[in-house]
Structure 1
Amino acid sequence: MSLLRPLVDLQRPRIPTLLSAFLTLLNDRLSESIVFPLLPFLLAQFAPNGRTLGLLAGSYALSQFLVTPLIGALSDRYGRRPVIAICVGGSVVGLGLFALTLSLPWPEASLWPLILLFSARVIDGISGGTAATASAVLADISSPEQRARTFGLIGVAFGLGFILGPFLGGQLAQIAVPLPLWVATGFACLNLGVVLTLLPETHPVEQRQNLPKRRDLNPFRRIGQVLINPSVGRLCGAFFLFFLAFNGFTAILVLYFKQRFDWGPELATTAFLVVGVVATVVQGGLIGPLVQRFGEWKLTLFGLGLVIAGCLLIPAVGAADRAPAIFCSVGILALGTGLVTPSLRSLVSRRLSSEGQGTALGSLQALQSLGSFLGPPIAGISYDLLGPTSPFVLAASLLVIVIALVARSPLTKNLQLST
């Protein structure tokens, strides 16, 4: 009985824990979704070219990819709370530096603004490991059977961020271009205050792990290890390919709408609003009952089928009644994504012991970041060289491979592997 008491005590303050994790996830998504759509406007006075834009956008995902395994290992060694607090503090610094750089007057042709902007994005990307640690917090306070439902909060936070970020950014930028960055910085400060005052430690001392060797923190080595793991390797490979495909074709989605249908910002924003709303409803309210009824494995496969359908329906839409058809297609796409993301995370998490949740979920975050870094340029090259519809076909082909990998990895009742 005494051995169970620390776990009971740790899980007692559940509402403050959920609130802290939710705000951390929302801050992670909101800060990026505010900045990313405005990057061309924010860079206009310094370097208005696609090369600089692409490098600045990619620096965030690349930085996140390189450091996320270390952040996950640190949370397994020292606990979730201090790691989240330091990372959120880093987000405050990164966003604040970005906003300050845009607010100051600079001499013409000065390189300092670009140096500071890239530094800010790198700092913010490094701090983006909060998503993995917040996910580990949710895993700590949930039983294996409840993890898919609890992980639905990740989708809710990301969905709200996906809705609020571009909307707030577009509205506030009409007042002053740097204002959205200052608002994002203020929200990060709020997040830091909540973490410091409300978040309890959820990782018991007796389950702490020693830090791995330096070579084991190499993200490529860590990814290689998890991919060759016979219990979770296929699922982790599927996780990477899913985000490679998804982030690839969604990166060119607005460009496709603009060139194919001559859409302006209003219609394009409405399409993304549909995605955010549907994904939020699914992951926030429906995923729990659906998992209880069908299980994570079946939901993942069904969701992947929906994503493929939505991906192929978009380029099939003709000129007549294109807006309703597009909104329906992206709704199907969002429904599938809302099912796949928490279910696939849960399939991996349920194969792991509680001691290795932070490291393993950190590896998943690294795979997601690598997919987010590689997907957009691959889709962009395909768009330019092979035609506007080619990224959708490429994404659908990758998702078929994802289905094959998941189909070969059903969740057996007693399968749980320590990492």
Structure 2
Amino acid sequence: MRWSRPSTTLCAFITLLNDRLGESIVFPLLPYLLASFSGSGRTLGLLAGSYAVAQFAFTPLIGALSDRFGRRPVMAGCVAGSVLGLGLFALTITIDWSAIPWAAGTALPLTLLFVARLIDGVSGGTAATAGAVLADISTPENRAKAFGLIGVAFGLGFILGPALGGLLAGVNVTLPVWAAAAFALVNLLLVLGLLPETHPIEARLPLPRKRELNPFTQLRRVFTNPQVRRLCLAFFLFFLAFNGFTAVLVLYFKQAFGWGPAPAATAFLVVGVVATVVQGGLIGPLVQRFGEWRLSLAGLGFVMAGFLQVPLATPANAQPLVFIAVAILALGTGLVTPCLRSLVSRRLDAAGQGAALGSLQGLQSLGSFLGPPLAGVAYDLVGRQSPFWLGIALMLGVVALVAGRSPGPERSPA
């Protein structure tokens, strides 16, 4: 068929890569990019969380639009939004606002940064639309292989983003954001020039009712199901704690250890490499050997160990201790995320899978929005290390929720 040509897969892959690459380039550098406008943890946390809240609110609508009007126009619109958001962010941090009399000392630059992040978050449905393209062009027999591209693209994005960001920041701290915007522009040109429509007109669906597009509707449904309520709450608290921790991590590196952009980006590169290895190759054999429930609890232990090690580091031993800490943290996250998803999935019948797993994505986005501002407030008002101790306390709550739930049928250890 016309749309099964290799260029279709290429466009989907580049779009998935762009989705992760843009965020993984910008996120580790946020405290340095914000330095001219604000040094507070609250501002950093709100800016980090603004992307997630926009994505949480608009992803259901973007998915419905692609089912109604086709993949190509929706993907092109989303990638164009990414170009606009990243371009506005890059332009805002490049302009010397002190040289503009009517703008100097105002909240305009900071407002533009928030607008840029919100635009990028609203257009963050690119991953879901690219996944739908892969589903459209795949047969049931090769669908798992096609979806494997999602993991490959995300893994590459998490590795290349911090590496590229740290390298370019050594030249100029704004250069990585311009590079992310340029990659998004290349992505847009590929989609416009090479991507055919993969969703035929006869398969189009009408737009659902507004109520069904409300992201809180699915969350309400899943929390009324006693089979998965505790595990879903655990999933939400995990991402609340994890994203709060990571949001202030680079600011802590900057203020506690005097780190510049390069070592901070390298720490995130370590996270990307370890998480990709765990989720790309180790998770299957480990699940066969130990089962999801045991691995979830072990992973939570690793995450707490990583949280604990960072505030114990001093400027003299920071680099080796922090890199070990983030590697342990990435190992734990690489175990917890897929295993908790699987534990939820195994407690539902086939009819409830789609809604419940979609709800987990919503819970992840909600935790990614609420965690950073909460950590930022704690950072400013309680102390620089307080978000890490708060994260450990929340993780203990996650352990209680997961451990207090019967593991159900598990694969027996060999």
- Partners of 1:227 and 1:233 within 8 A in 2: yes
Q: Which residue of 1 aligns with 2:87?
A: 96
Unaligned runs of 5+ in 1: 1-8, 414-419
CA distance in 1, matches of 2:294, 2:276: 20
| Offset of residue 395 of structure 1 | 1.6
1:402 partnered with 2:402: no
Cα distance change of structure 1 residues 290 and 233 upon mapping to structure 2, 3 Å threshold: same
Taking structure 1 as the reference length, what is the TM-score of the superposition? 0.76
Q: Which residue of 2 aligns with 1:300?
A: 296
Match of 1:108 among 101, 111, 115: 101
Q: Which residue of 2 aligns with 1:60?
A: 51
Cα distance change of structure 1 residues 100 and 318 upon mapping to structure 2, 3 Å threshold: closer
Stretch deviating more after TM superposition (12-21 or 81-90): 12-21
| Offset of residue 87 of structure 1 | 1.8
| Offset of residue 361 of structure 1 | 4.8
Q: Which residue of 1 aligns with 2:215?
A: 219
Stretch deviating more after TM superposition (120-129 or 259-268): 259-268
- Partners of 1:135 and 1:361 within 8 A in 2: no
SS of the equivalent of 2:178 reads helix
Q: Give the aligned residue type for 2:234.
A: A
CA distance in 2, matches of 1:90, 1:399: 35
- Partners of 1:155 and 1:279 within 8 A in 2: no
Q: Which residue of 1 aligns with 2:245?
A: 249
Q: Give the aligned residue type for 1:290.
A: L
1:188 partnered with 2:181: no
Unaligned runs of 5+ in 2: none
Q: Which residue of 2 aligns with 1:375?
A: 371
CA distance in 2, matches of 1:13, 1:292: 34
Q: Give the aligned residue type for 2:245.
A: F
1:275 partnered with 2:271: yes
CA distance in 2, matches of 1:211, 1:219: 15
Deviations 1:65-115 (A, max 9, x none): 221232344455566555434322321222233334556676334266555
Q: Which residue of 1 aligns with 2:26?
A: 35
| Offset of residue 174 of structure 1 | 5.2
Match of 1:23 among 14, 17, 33: 14
1:287 partnered with 2:283: yes
Deviations 1:312-355 (A, max 9, x none): 23334567755433322221111111122233344445647589
Cα distance change of structure 1 residues 164 and 61 upon mapping to structure 2, 3 Å threshold: same
Cα distance change of structure 1 residues 17 and 176 upon mapping to structure 2, 3 Å threshold: same
Q: Which residue of 2 aligns with 1:120?
A: 116
| Offset of residue 117 of structure 1 | 3.7
Cα distance change of structure 1 residues 205 and 328 upon mapping to structure 2, 3 Å threshold: farther
1:220-235 → structure 2 map (5 Å cutoff): 220-235=216-231
Cα distance change of structure 1 residues 317 and 182 upon mapping to structure 2, 3 Å threshold: closer
Q: Which residue of 1 aligns with 2:232?
A: 236
- Partners of 2:271 and 2:327 within 8 A in 1: yes
Taking structure 2 as the reference length, what is the TM-score of the superposition? 0.77
- Partners of 2:66 and 2:129 within 8 A in 1: yes
Cα distance change of structure 1 residues 403 and 343 upon mapping to structure 2, 3 Å threshold: same
Cα distance change of structure 1 residues 77 and 291 upon mapping to structure 2, 3 Å threshold: farther
- Partners of 2:243 and 2:367 within 8 A in 1: yes
Q: Give the aligned residue type for 1:401.
A: G
Give aligned pairs, total.
400
Cα distance change of structure 1 residues 252 and 412 upon mapping to structure 2, 3 Å threshold: same
> Alpha carbon RMSD of aligned pairs, Å?
4.1
- Partners of 2:166 and 2:263 within 8 A in 1: no
Stretch deviating more after TM superposition (73-82 or 162-171): 73-82
Q: Give the aligned residue type for 2:213.
A: L
- Partners of 1:72 and 1:362 within 8 A in 2: no
